[in-house]
Chain A
Amino acid sequence: MIFIVSFLVVLMLVGAAAASVFKDLISAVIAAALVSLVATILFYFLQAPDVAMAEAAIGAALTAAIFIIAIRRTKRYEE
């Protein structure tokens, strides 16, 4: 159990770092959505299913979609 949770935490950190490093903004949004997705699993393991559902729907799906729509309007690559 503790191994799974620590693996998930490391995965979250990697995702967060990747989101700030990527020059391709679409990849950065996908990495940020990965952070939300892993956070969902972590919330479930920490016995907070209510928060997990909200995080899955809003953090992983809607936020990523809104960012991608915004990127489509502007530029895809960071200078």
Chain B
Amino acid sequence: MRKIVSIILLGIVASGISLSLAKIPFGVPKTKVGTHYINEGIKETGATNIVTSVVVSYRGFDTLGEVTVLFIAAIGLGAVLTASGREKMRKTEPASLVLYTGCRLLLPLILIFGIYVFIHGHLTPGGGFQGGAIIASGFLLIYLGCRERRINQKASKLIESLGGLAFVVIGLLGLVFGEYFLFNFLPKGTPNTLFSAGIIPVIYIAVGFKVGSELAGIIDNLIEES
């Protein structure tokens, strides 16, 4: 009985969503702001990757909120997991030679790729969040392969805080040199070169360090507990 009712309810919801979505024309610009970003984005921000110019420049304040949400989530997880006091890590057998060697070979490549992704966030697809997540997956590989290695929790917290602080300070410097928070006060340079787009790469480097150390810290907290 309950299953039949839930299927009927699901059907009603699905038909409602599909009927309302069918009314929206597909592939046609519905707002002016999207066209504006595509046409004027490179000229106004100097970043050739339009997604980055929206995320960091036009909607930079939203990104600050997003970074804060991740920060609070990491802090909350750390508080919940360490509230009972750190247990001693139980002895695990070392990883096999293949896994160990593979991890040692792959880790620097993954880290360099992550750093590349967030430094070139304004030129190529990717950015601080993506690069940070790639770096964190590199640290996950350490925990799989070299189990006795640990990241320095204090250093990771320090990098995390400095990254967040850099974001806010750059935003406030925008108030000092320009007219609004996160104002792009640095020279924009020629588009499509590494040193272009003003504060966008600086902010994305800060975000990349912050997200990478945060996610690595989350993994470290979880592994330490298990």
Q: Once the chains are docked, how many angstroms separate the CA of A50 from the CA of B54?
A: 12
Q: Once the chains are docked, how many angstroms separate the CA of A22 from the CA of B133?
A: 28
B145 on interface, CB distance cutoff 8 Å: no
- What is the minimal beta-carbon distance from A65 to any residue of chain B, in angstroms? 5
Chain B residues near A54 (CB, 8 Å)?
129-130, 133
Structural contact, B137 and A62, CB atoms closer than 8 A: yes
Q: Once the chains are docked, how many angstroms separate the CA of A65 from the CA of B87?
A: 21
Q: Main secondary structure on chain B at its contact with chain A? A: helix
- What is the minimal beta-carbon distance from B78 to any residue of chain A, in angstroms? 14
A66 on interface, CB distance cutoff 8 Å: yes
Binding site for A on B (CB under 8 A): 49, 51-52, 117, 125-127, 129-130, 133-134, 136-137, 140, 215, 218-219, 222-223, 225-226
Structural contact, A57 and B136, CB atoms closer than 8 A: yes
Instruction: Give a binary string over A41-79; 1 marks a CB under 8 Å from any B CB, 0 the rest.
Output: 000000001101110011001100110011011000000
Structural contact, B222 and A70, CB atoms closer than 8 A: yes
Q: Write 9 A-B pairs (CB below 8 A) sorted by A numbering.
A: A50-B49, A53-B130, A54-B133, A61-B137, A61-B140, A62-B140, A62-B219, A66-B222, A69-B226
Structural contact, A69 and B223, CB atoms closer than 8 A: yes
Chain A residues near B52 (CB, 8 Å)?
50
- What is the minimal beta-carbon distance from A9 to any residue of chain B, in angstroms? 15
Structural contact, B137 and A50, CB atoms closer than 8 A: no
Given A49-B125, A73-B225, A65 and B130 contact (CB-CB distance below 8 Å): no
- What is the minimal beta-carbon distance from A68 to any residue of chain B, in angstroms? 10
- What is the minimal beta-carbon distance from A77 to any residue of chain B, in angstroms? 18
